[in-house]
Structure 1
Amino acid sequence: MRKYITWGYLIIICTILPLYMKDGYYMLGESKGLLYLGVSAAFALVLVLFERKKLLSGIDKESFAFFGLMAFLFSNIISFVFSINKSVSFFGLEGWRGGFLTVILMLFFALVFSGQELFSKYVTAALLLTPAFEFVLGILGRFGIYPIAIAHQNNSFVATIGNINWYVGFLSVFVSLGVGLCYTEKLFSKEFFLLALYEILGLVALLTQGSESGGLVIIGAFLLLLFRSLGSRKSFLKMSAQFFILGLSMEIVDILMLAFGSLYNYQDNLLVQACSGFKGLILMASAFFLYRLSRLFEEISGKWRGKLFTEVLLFALGIGIAVAVYKLRSSFGYGFGNGRGLIWSISADMFHTLSPWRKLVGVGQDGFYSYAYSVPEIADSLLNTFPGNKLTNAHCELLTMLIERGLLGAVTYLFFMGTILCAFIKNKKERAATICALPVIAYFLNSLVSFSTVTSTPYLMLAIGIGLSSCKSEIS
């Protein structure tokens, strides 16, 4: 019975929640947040009442990842107990609903699914139908085609998810899942081509949606997959196919812009620019060349030097990070990232105004807004900088967490994410571990310039739970 209850919950959350809109885009976060809380609380209650004896069965309570999850849970309890506004901290701020109750429900289902059986391909297919529909809606919407009439429509909103930041958070989970699923299928099988179609739709949606943070999603997913693929020639052949799919997606975007660029209804951005000039064709040709070269060496029994390739990639990655940090420091200012530089500066000032105790435990979940406008100097700065608007988070999940849950919350969150990634990466034989590792790194990188929402973070936690269920027999 437990299996069917959890399957039912997963299907409802993955199909109804992304589509649900009470009054169009007006108070969309509030309507989705309340739906998530209602559905999740109801299913959690059913599981506790009818499956309480089996609820924790199958969960690996000795694993390091379990310890990381418990540490993050503990820090959230502490933050709530000492929050400055118990009501907001528990239920979440209106319009966001990222309070203690939401966190508890997300972690509860991550635990439940970590002891669950793996899913059949039919359940997986059912889970991907709505995300695929959201991909199509996002692509059409960027070129002014709206098959569904939605109230309060404007160019900042995409599909039925919300603004571009919410949409990229959603894509960071479901596109990277598609990449992992396609990568782990047998090359050129029927399932491979179906998942490749899903992946292409997701990548095109990600490349056209308008937010440049989508590049972090692609970089994170493909880099992690590349590291995983260097262990064997067979895996590298699969990775070559993934780069071909990425190039094909880029070329599709280039063709769309050449043919319908005048209809594109968002500002010019780096991702669209990266697809121009037939760069997708170049990537496709390079991927095909590497595939054929690898097959040639396979036919002549050439030795695969996975360790050497990994070391070269690590060296190149180190140089790339150093260059990126240098350019970031030289170009950083208040205008960085569409005003994120200014928001981060104000948020850093907010953290400095906290007492030593508040620096440790924070002001409480979803308490960023309440605290910011309770400090006169911070409030004046926000009112002068964002007249008519309310700043509810730092547009960096880790920085927001530092203020709302303190050093304790931020450190345990990083520890939690680290233990999860270690569990997935070390478990090289598990298909689901590879698939579920990609959303973790993709979501985390995007969250550095974005924020937690009910259309992204709950799906990350579900992916973590499902991934852990595949690892518990080998990782301790």
Structure 2
Amino acid sequence: MKELNDEIHNVEEKSTFIHILLSAYMVLIGAGLPLVVRNKYFDILVDKYYYYCFLTITLSVLLLGYFIVHIKEKTYVKVFQRLTKTDYFLFAFLIIAGLSTVTSDYVFESFWGNEGRLTGFFLMLWYVVSFFLISKLSRFNKWYIDIIIISGIIVSIFGITDYFKLDIFGFKAPMVDSQKDIFTSTIGNINTYTAYVGMIAAITTVLFSSVQQKKKLIFYYLGMVITFFALIMGTSDNAYLSLGALFAFLPLYLFNNNVGIKRYIAILATFFTVIQIIGLLNRYFGEYVLSIDSFFQLLIGLKGGVGITIGLWLIVVFWHIIEKYKNIGTIDFGKVPQRLWALFLLLCFLIIVYIIFDCNFKGNAGRYGSMASFFVFNDDWGTHRGYIWRNAIECYWHLSPWKKLVGYGPETFGILILQKTANNPYQELFDSAHNEYLHLLTTVGIAGLICYLGFIVNVIKRGINIGRKNAYVMAALYGILCYSIQAIVNLNLPIVTPIFWLLAGISASYYKDK
């Protein structure tokens, strides 16, 4: 193993061209893709799609040419021979997507994804290619993550100005009034925007909780605060899934010592401070800001919210004073606090399952007051997501055994469900399940979904096992986790999803060297 690592490092040291090329690619995707806009919101999906495909294809062609020229250096082959479970799951996913495409009743549409949101087999192929090139050929660098953060902060600030109805670049001026509030920043739809900002919030929060250097601590803290504001001011319900995942799973990383626990409490105090500030802005400047009608409104109106915020800050301050006065350093608590938190999460999960059962099967929704709207699943749930999901599942069960296995064809969801939802009460056309996993189930089948989930699980699992002591790896993994959780109510788009694949490749490039 050491011999192979040495060979890989020797190849990389000689190949300055590869390092420069991959670094440029990661900057252009990680920082450039979220910011690039050509015609405001009118062609934003297509523009970012072409931008991503052009850069990825260019990278692939240049690297292929380089390998052909240096074909005698067999060590390049050995780099790609070193495959992991993550790689096998991804290969299997691509093969199944290919089978789904060629056996689909709509081969052209499956390949290009032109009847949906452009995530056909063609784009899936380049996602997989980019992951392998980054994970196998690049060397992990902290500044890749910092570049992604800086771009995310710029996008978030622009989104915050939209919350104040400023429209500083005139993106919304040509739009009809009914759509102005659901598009923001350089991302577009608020659901897509909060999916992206959720990843940035996770990355900055993990780094704030982990780094020791003062300048970096301040930078990541400011990034965390800005993205907290941006997430809530994005006025999209899927944002609370990203934040919920972050706050729920962060203790599994932090609760092994006193510093981690103190930082976690500081993060909670910061979040509740942001909530209180937004509440004040809405109260006194209501006509100048967008309305928030989501789970966050419950937090803003929470009785005792100010007391909770002050209490959390007092804990942090007194804890810090005591540690400094008594000269207490880092105290290792072992795995006990983390295991206790895991049990707490399991208990919370069981309680939620019971509430869902109680609301939907026992008819006791009235017990839960205003919270019942989050637990009662009907056609109106989640801005008609309940209706889409129900019809999607019914359509899937009527597919042939082969199509249940490999799906109807990538990005053919709209074609599959069109007839069943014609003349629907909402007068809408549905080209996406608004649930990435249900969308994959119907389009690439149960086999494709299992492989995709296996890929995500193994990226996170292997990254945690090997990169636990590297805060930047953990930050990337939490970004992946938050994206994957919010994907339950969101869709896969080439506006944001390339950042997910980029983070997966960057994290894998670290544990490749280990």
TM-score > 0.5, shorter chain as reference: yes
Q: 2:228 aligns with which of 203, 221, 241?
A: 203
Q: Aligned pair 1:335/2:380, yes or no?
A: yes
Quote the offset at 1:468 in angstroms: 1.1
Q: Which amino acid aligns with 2:422?
A: L
Please name the residue that 1:19 is paired with: 35
Please name the residue that 2:193 is paired with: 167
Please name the residue that 2:280 is paired with: 255
1:408-447 to 2 correspondences below 5 Å: 408-427=447-466, 428-447=468-487
Quote the offset at 1:450 in angstroms: 0.8
Q: Indicate if the aligned counterparts of 1:207 and 1:214 stay in contact, CA closer than 8 A.
A: yes
Percent sequence identity over matched residues?
A: 21
Q: Indicate if the aligned counterparts of 1:56 and 1:112 stay in contact, CA closer than 8 A.
A: no
Q: Which amino acid aligns with 1:132?
A: I
Q: Aligned pair 1:105/2:145, yes or no?
A: no
Q: Indicate if the aligned counterparts of 1:233 and 1:294 stay in contact, CA closer than 8 A.
A: no
List alignment gaps of at least 5 residues for structure 2. Answer: 1-16, 360-375
1:124-139 to 2 correspondences below 5 Å: 124-139=145-160
Quote the offset at 1:414 in angstroms: 1.3
Quote the offset at 1:470 in angstroms: 1.6
Quote the offset at 1:367 in angstroms: 0.9
User: Which segment is superposed worse, 287-296 or 80-89?
Assistant: 287-296
Q: Indicate if the aligned counterparts of 1:210 and 1:267 stay in contact, CA closer than 8 A.
A: yes
Q: Which amino acid aligns with 1:203?
A: F
Q: Distance in 2 between matches of 1:41 and 1:284?
A: 52
Q: Aligned pair 1:65/2:90, yes or no?
A: no
Q: Aligned pair 1:398/2:419, yes or no?
A: no
The two structures have a TM-score, normalised by structure 1, of 0.90
Q: Aligned pair 1:232/2:271, yes or no?
A: no
The superposition leaves residues 425-459 of structure 1 with CA deviations (integer Å, 9 ceiling, x where unpaired) of 22222223211110121011100011101122111
Quote the offset at 1:371 in angstroms: 2.1
Q: Indicate if the aligned counterparts of 2:187 and 2:495 stay in contact, CA closer than 8 A.
A: yes
The two structures have a TM-score, normalised by structure 2, of 0.84
Please name the residue that 2:6 is paired with: none
Q: Which has the larger radius of gyration?
A: 2
Q: Indicate if the aligned counterparts of 2:248 and 2:345 stay in contact, CA closer than 8 A.
A: no
Q: Secondary structure at the match of 1:265?
A: coil
Q: Distance in 2 between matches of 1:372 and 1:307?
A: 48
Q: Distance in 1 between matches of 2:307 and 2:31?
A: 34
Q: Aligned pair 1:75/2:120, yes or no?
A: no
Please name the residue that 2:353 is paired with: 325
Change (3 A) 1:51 1:119: farther
- Total equivalences in the alignment: 466
Q: Secondary structure at the match of 2:285?
A: helix
Please name the residue that 1:450 is paired with: 490
Q: Indicate if the aligned counterparts of 2:266 and 2:316 stay in contact, CA closer than 8 A.
A: no
Change (3 A) 1:155 1:449: same
Q: Aligned pair 1:38/2:54, yes or no?
A: yes
Change (3 A) 1:15 1:422: closer
Please name the residue that 1:156 is paired with: 182
Q: Distance in 2 between matches of 1:383 and 1:33?
A: 31
Change (3 A) 1:292 1:407: same
Q: Distance in 2 between matches of 1:126 and 1:47?
A: 23
Q: Aligned pair 1:368/2:440, yes or no?
A: no
Quote the offset at 1:166 in angstroms: 1.2
Q: Aligned pair 1:307/2:335, yes or no?
A: yes
Q: Indicate if the aligned counterparts of 2:276 and 2:306 stay in contact, CA closer than 8 A.
A: yes
Q: Distance in 1 between matches of 2:184 and 2:511?
A: 35
Q: Aligned pair 1:345/2:371, yes or no?
A: no
1:376-387 to 2 correspondences below 5 Å: 376=419, 378=420, 381-387=421-427
Change (3 A) 1:239 1:473: farther
Quote the offset at 1:170 in angstroms: 1.4
The superposition leaves residues 154-178 of structure 1 with CA deviations (integer Å, 9 ceiling, x where unpaired) of 1111112111111122123222222
Q: Distance in 1 between matches of 2:306 and 2:276?
A: 4
Please name the residue that 1:4 is paired with: 20
Quote the offset at 1:320 in angstroms: 1.2
Q: Distance in 2 between matches of 1:325 and 1:15?
A: 39
Please name the residue that 1:186 is paired with: 212
Q: Distance in 1 between matches of 2:84 and 2:347?
A: 34
Q: Indicate if the aligned counterparts of 2:194 and 2:231 stay in contact, CA closer than 8 A.
A: yes
Q: Which amino acid aligns with 2:345?
A: L
Q: Indicate if the aligned counterparts of 2:116 and 2:431 stay in contact, CA closer than 8 A.
A: no
Q: Indicate if the aligned counterparts of 1:424 and 1:436 stay in contact, CA closer than 8 A.
A: no
The superposition leaves residues 314-339 of structure 1 with CA deviations (integer Å, 9 ceiling, x where unpaired) of 22212211222233341111111121
Q: Distance in 2 between matches of 1:83 and 1:247?
A: 50
Q: Distance in 2 between matches of 1:163 and 1:39?
A: 24
Please name the residue that 2:8 is paired with: none
Q: Indicate if the aligned counterparts of 1:89 and 1:365 stay in contact, CA closer than 8 A.
A: yes
Please name the residue that 1:466 is paired with: 506
Q: Which amino acid aligns with 2:349?
A: I
Change (3 A) 1:288 1:309: farther
Q: 2:108 aligns with which of 84, 87, 103?
A: 87
Q: Indicate if the aligned counterparts of 1:248 and 1:281 stay in contact, CA closer than 8 A.
A: no
Q: Distance in 2 between matches of 1:301 and 1:24?
A: 51
RMSD of aligned C-alpha atoms?
2.6
The superposition leaves residues 251-297 of structure 1 with CA deviations (integer Å, 9 ceiling, x where unpaired) of 33233223322322245221143134573662463255157448858
Change (3 A) 1:27 1:382: farther
The superposition leaves residues 187-237 of structure 1 with CA deviations (integer Å, 9 ceiling, x where unpaired) of 6x0111012111111111101111121111011122222111112233333
Q: Indicate if the aligned counterparts of 2:241 and 2:486 stay in contact, CA closer than 8 A.
A: yes
Q: Distance in 1 between matches of 2:115 and 2:54?
A: 15
Quote the offset at 1:351 in angstroms: 0.5
Q: Indicate if the aligned counterparts of 2:100 and 2:410 stay in contact, CA closer than 8 A.
A: yes
Q: Secondary structure at the match of 1:40?
A: helix
Please name the residue that 1:119 is paired with: 141
Quote the offset at 1:358 in angstroms: 0.4
Q: Indicate if the aligned counterparts of 2:33 and 2:48 stay in contact, CA closer than 8 A.
A: yes
Q: Aligned pair 1:141/2:148, yes or no?
A: no
